[in-house]
Amino acid sequence: MAPQPYRFAQAWNLERGSGVFRLTVRNAMAHLDSEVKEECLREDLKFYFMNPCEKYRARHQIPWKLGLQILKIVMVTTQLVRFGLSNQMVVAFKEENTVAFKHLFLKGYSGMDEDDYSCSLYTQEDAYESIFFAINQYHHLKNISLGTLGYGENEDNTIGLKVCKQHYKKGTMFPCNETLNIDSDIEIDCVHLDLSKSPQDWKNSSFFKLEFYRLLQVEISFHLKGIDLQTIHSRELPDCYVFQNTITFDNKAHSGKIKIYFDSDAKIEECKDLNISGSIQKNTQYVLVFDAFVIVICLASLILCTRSIVLALRLRKRFLNFFLEKYKRHVCNADQWEFINGWYVLVIISDLMTIIGSILKMEIKAKNLTNYDLCSILLGTSTLFVWVGVIRYLGYFQAYNVLILTMQASLPKVLRFCACAGMIYLGYMFCGWIVLGPYHDKFEDLNTVAECLFSLVNGDDMFATFAHIQQKSVLVWLFSRLYLYSFISLFIYMILSLFIALITDSYDTIKKYQQNGFPETDLQEFLKECSSKEKYQKESSAFLSCVCCLRRRGSDDHLILVN
């Protein structure tokens, strides 16, 4: 019976040793699994931050997005050029018709506008003659016009002229005695002149007996229709236009000068009956097919870029969880933003604008819509973003990456600097408007003042700004000199120099970083770390690679980014 305790102790020691061994193996497997996950994460991160050429060399992955972006640049630019040429004909047709209308309906029009108005009158006889000249020209339009014009219907669905006059309700005025008795309420009287009566019949009408001392303005409005036939030479369907014309005789100032304004608002409408033989219809179909292909290309680019952003966010989440689990701290914001590719966001915005603009262009081409302005804004802005996006691929080369890095480094400082300088700029703008506005045409309104000051900052039109100030008031003249000299000295010699210095400082910093190396962040240090110790890496590198490959073939496929 004596040996039994010994056998029991031996068995207990054997069982204890087996448990320790299993625990050691379990810890080793857990450590190995952690190393495998870390190595897989590091490989995925390295692959994500590679450029298309490096990805092709690493995994023979064809850079589909790069090829798609190059094809999109060519197609979007071609589409824009064709639309621009078509839009140029539309703009030219509108402008040429406006000039023709001024020569047709404004008596004595010289061909050049006097200011923001077309021409001016100084006698009552000239006022009457100008009014009836416009009426007479309208009645004989088909016999005198060189264009493809016809009469259009007004708002009340009638063809003819609508003449309205605004005047004070009643009053008397004796300037020689410096007496005035007037009712400031404004009356508006209108009359419709159709084509059934000749202009001579309206001259004796009491409506045209004008009392100029209380007359504010006379407005003549009429609609004309026209067809743009020059588009046929470009093998496009012609456009039908409705011109809403308004002639305004402005006497609100009562200064002895009546200003004549001519306004022509052209609207494109769908032609009701088009019957054109030839190859125009076939050419239109080819253009519509090309626009549809552009939409397909942009839609594919949109899907690929959106997919890349989604996968990048998943990879970011993996890295944040791993970093918090291993190092017990959060990743800095700069590293978190590294996963958000701003170029992809720019491409997505560009693709959306191109798709919407192409749809509008197809509707315009089919004469279902006429919104040229919105279509131009969408296609023009999208093409701008497409060409700006090319900088991304140039940025892969160090020699071309200086511009992008300098802009990124200097942008926060430049924005803060502009916010401070903008306060001074606004102060000068308001001061110049209120003081110099009555004496200088470049300071008449806030928008003009802002444009004038911005031109001075760039060194443009300085002498004209100094010379055109009216010398009616010596005090204002002296103030204008102090105002202009101080603004130019402050903004050109100080603020503009500091602005350039901020960008130059960022450029010098980037050049030093390129020579000596950029500061390493947590993300970059993690990518440079070894997966484990040298000994362990030599013994188990093949096993880790095998496990990583097996894991990638399994359920974690969606975590590997395909850029």
- The secondary structure of 413-467, three-state, reads HHHHHHHHHHHHHHHHHHHHHHHHHHHCHHHCCHHHHHHHHHHHHCCCCHHHHHH
Quick: pLDDT tens for 212-266.
888 889 998 988 888 877 777 666 777 788 888 899 999 888 888 889 899 988 8
What average pLDDT score do residues 462-470 get?
A: 81
Task: State residue 401's pLDDT score.
Answer: 74
- Is this model's pTM higher than 0.85 or not? no
Quick: pLDDT tens for 83-102.
888 878 888 888 888 888 88
Q: Is the pLDDT of residue 5 over 70?
A: no
Task: State residue 276's pLDDT score.
Answer: 65
Task: State residue 558's pLDDT score.
Answer: 38
What average pLDDT score do residues 120-139 get?
A: 88
Q: Tokens 């009356």 — which residue?
A: 187
Quick: pLDDT tens for 14-41.
455 555 445 565 555 555 566 677 777 7
Helices (H), 140-279: 141-144, 199-203
Give the pair of three-digit tokens for residue 48. Answer: 């994500």
What average pLDDT score do residues 488-493 get?
A: 90
Between these two residues, 412 and 27, which has the higher pLDDT value? 412
Domain ranges of the chain: 64-84+281-394, 106-272, 403-516
Q: Is the pLDDT of residue 64 over 70?
A: yes
Q: Is the pLDDT of residue 9 over 60?
A: no
> In sequence order, what are the residues at sequence separation of 6 or more whose Cβ sits closer than 8 angstroms to the Cβ of residue 62?
56
Quick: pLDDT tens for 150-178.
888 777 777 888 889 888 887 777 777 76
Quick: pLDDT tens for 267-320.
877 777 766 665 555 667 788 888 899 999 999 999 988 988 888 888 888 877
Based on the number of CB atoms within 10 Å of its own CB, is 30 exposed (0-12), middle (13-18) or buried (19 or more)? exposed
H/E element, 533: none
- Return mean pLDDT, the chain: 78
